[in-house]
Amino acid sequence: MQREITLRRVWSANRLAEDVTRLIESSFPEDERRNTKEFLMVMDRKPMFGVYAIMEGETFRGVVTTWNFGKIVYVEHLAVEPGDRGQGIGGIAIGKVCEAVGETPVVVEVECPTDDMTRRRVEFYERAGFKIWEAEYRQPPYSTTQASVEMRLMARGMEETEENFSTVVGLLKMQVYGGREAVPAIQ
């Protein structure tokens, strides 16, 4: 039986904003997300930033956030409620994002595949048609008090070339991370 999953746009005043922020806070380490106050501000003030509740009827199942830069769409966060994981909801949600943007390339950041959990995340996106890029990449910090994080980029509909890598990293750095540089964490 196909699940009836929809994506519903959320703004800070929406009743789902609390569910969205709670799930993002519990699903991502502090260095891989904005603080809640900034997240809610960006949600309302940046038209290219979309926050979508993953819904099954009126039941909140997860969240996906996207940045639409016109020539590419960047999926910043995708999380499913802990009790709903492993049921195909995330796959349906990423499929709906890709379907909605048509031929526009879609890019995601993933943790380097170094253990079972991070390899499963890469495999999840590979099943959705994404390919991992081999170029080294550090996610810039969200704020001056946070560290940058070693990641990898994955893309659907865009080959890994030096030009594409430079374009994507430039957009992310300026639009998502406020122009901050990615630097290695101090050991």
User: What domains can be seen in the chain, in order of their start residue?
Assistant: 5-176 (3.40.630.30)
What's the confidence (pLDDT) of residue 69?
96
CA 10: distance to chain centroid? Answer: 15
Note the pTM of the prediction, 2 decimals: 0.93
Q: Mean pLDDT over all residues of the chain?
A: 93
Q: Read out DSSP for 80-116?
A: E-GGGTTSSHHHHHHHHHHHHHTTS-EEEEEE-S-SH
CA dihedral for 96, 97, 98, 103, sign (positive or negative): positive
Kindly indicate the confidence band of residue 184, based on its pLDDT and cuts at 50, 70 and 90. very low
Kindly indicate the confidence band of residue 160, based on its pLDDT and cuts at 50, 70 and 90. very high
What's the confidence (pLDDT) of residue 179?
80
What's the confidence (pLDDT) of residue 182?
60
